[in-house]
A = this chain, B = another copy of it.
Amino acid sequence: MNNYTRRNLKGQTLLRHRNVSVVIEKINVDGPITKREIVNKTGISFAKVNTITSSLSKLGITVEIGKEESNGGRPSSLFNLNPNYRYTIGCQLSHTRIHTIVGNLKGEILFEEMKHYDKSIGKEAVIALLLNSIETLINNSGIPKEKFLGVGVAIAGLFNPNNEMTFPFPHLVNWGHVSFKEIIAEKFDLPCYVSNVANAGALAELNYGEGKGKNSILYLNVGSGLGLGIIFDGKLYQGVSGTAGEFGHISIDEHGPLCECGNYGCLEALASTRAVVKQAKTQVKQGVSTALLTMANEDIEKINFNMICEAASNSDKLAYNLIDMMGQNIGEGIVTLVNLLNPERVILGGTIMCASDLLINQITNIVQKRALEIPRRNMDIVFSKMGNYAGTIGATIPIIERFFQYQVNE
């Protein structure tokens, strides 16, 4: 026991002090790091840093991973965060699948499971699948239950940050308002943090991916919808009711097709994977010659976005033109983002990854031609290296942040 440790009612040692969070944060971001470097970077006195790092090491939160090269004096110990001190569960709930992971404090994936479902199974069955995935992963991981800090659920839809209920899930009938917080607490006695897939992806890119070290990034998740995660000044911006980033519903053509949302020419109605698949089916029905029909075993309804990507990269004219037009439309949307928000970087992710090579040229080309010069010169566009994992990893970040910020239990 020292100034920074307390026992709670269950007799667990708690570390509760602002300085503790600051030191952990420093070790997490800058580790391996010496005590002297922590002092220099935080302004906390050496004596205090010494006490805190001792406590952290004793608890196993940090590990000494050797000594710094010395130039004369006694070599100093290098501290690193022990990424496996505690674990997290992350889930990404999309319209057709559930991706679940066991992650650690560094956002590394230790175990994972992907479940596909048909939306006709209904709400209760989808929730049961999700709970089952979590349970299976916890059991199969062999990690003691008390080492899990919580569950993060990233949904491909909106939720209300005030009561943490999801709004009616798009494309899932009778979904209504669902509280994962209550469902998870009841089943696993673990705290649950709900987020939107695009916001979660943005956090993952900011912490571990293409946005690391940047202040102002936009993460664009293109799949059956188009979501945008907005990082301003290093923090997630969610808007006044938590719905900021509805990129799929910005209109780029007021004379364009009517969107489900009631507006015309929305990006989602033009450039989502769902829209592109629909365009492909329509053209195939009209008799346009394409390899897609063979790939789908002559069943037009079986054509999917992956087939279009594959056909396009094999120079199938119909598929190529559809991806080309998709890139133009996404590019148009990004022009709006660049002019309006002057970001440092735009990161593209989601199920469009399979067409990244074809898309990046078209998108970059449109942005080069149409965005204003000054913001354009100061930004770049890259594809995520996390693929579909960004949203799932990002779902665990609120859990980790809370752990670092508020308390560390033995």
Q: How far is the CB of A103 from chain B (nearest CB, A)?
A: 28
Task: Scan residues 235-273 of chain A and give those whose CB is less than 8 A from a CB of chain B.
Answer: 235, 237-247, 249-255, 261-264
B251 and A335 within 8 A (CB): yes
Q: How far is the CB of A335 from chain B (nearest CB, A)?
A: 6
With a CB–CB cut-off of 8 A, which chain B residues contact A255?
Answer: 253, 255
A235: nearest chain-B partner, CB-CB? B233
B240 and A379 within 8 A (CB): yes
B243 and A374 within 8 A (CB): yes
B239 and A343 within 8 A (CB): yes
Q: How far is the CB of A268 from chain B (nearest CB, A)?
A: 11
Residue A158 at the B interface, CB < 8 A? yes
A239 and B341 within 8 A (CB): yes
A378: nearest chain-B partner, CB-CB? B241
**A340 touches which of B244, B252, B261 (Cβ 8 Å):** B244
B336 and A243 within 8 A (CB): no
A263 and B335 within 8 A (CB): yes
A237: nearest chain-B partner, CB-CB? B232
A332 and B254 within 8 A (CB): yes
CA–CA, A67 to B299, complex, Å?
84
**A241 touches which of B232, B237, B339, B342 (Cβ 8 Å):** B342
**A158 touches which of B233, B245, B263, B374 (Cβ 8 Å):** B374
A251 and B344 within 8 A (CB): no
With a CB–CB cut-off of 8 A, which chain B residues contact A237?
Answer: 232-233, 341
A239: nearest chain-B partner, CB-CB? B342
A329: nearest chain-B partner, CB-CB? B254
Given known contacts A252-B254, A253-B253, A344-B240, A339 and B246 CB-to-CB distance under 8 angstroms: yes
With a CB–CB cut-off of 8 A, which chain B residues contact A215?
Answer: 240
With a CB–CB cut-off of 8 A, which chain B residues contact A233?
Answer: 235, 237
Q: How far is the CB of A262 from chain B (nearest CB, A)?
A: 6
**A372 touches which of B246, B253, B342, B372 (Cβ 8 Å):** B246
With a CB–CB cut-off of 8 A, which chain B residues contact A374?
Answer: 158, 167, 241, 243
B263 and A228 within 8 A (CB): no
A369: nearest chain-B partner, CB-CB? B262
CA–CA, A261 to B252, complex, Å?
17
CA–CA, A233 to B335, complex, Å?
25
Residue A191 at the B interface, CB < 8 A? no
Residue A195 at the B interface, CB < 8 A? no
Given known contacts A158-B374, A255-B255, A247 and B340 CB-to-CB distance under 8 angstroms: yes
A340 and B228 within 8 A (CB): yes
CA–CA, A340 to B372, complex, Å?
19
A375 and B239 within 8 A (CB): yes
CA–CA, A239 to B239, complex, Å?
17
B340 and A240 within 8 A (CB): no
A342 and B242 within 8 A (CB): yes
With a CB–CB cut-off of 8 A, which chain B residues contact A332?
Answer: 251, 254
With a CB–CB cut-off of 8 A, which chain B residues contact A253?
Answer: 253-255
With a CB–CB cut-off of 8 A, which chain B residues contact A341?
Answer: 237, 239, 244
**A375 touches which of B243, B251, B264 (Cβ 8 Å):** B243
Known: A240-B375, A250-B340, A251-B332. 6 other contacts (CB 8 A): A158-B374, A216-B239, A239-B341, A240-B379, A247-B340, A254-B332
Q: Which residues does A use to contact B, with CB under 8 Å?
A: 158, 167, 215-216, 228, 232-233, 235, 237-247, 249-255, 261-264, 332, 335-337, 339-344, 369-372, 374-375, 377-379
Q: Which 6 A-B pairs have the closest CB atoms?
A: A239-B342, A244-B342, A241-B378, A263-B370, A246-B339, A240-B344
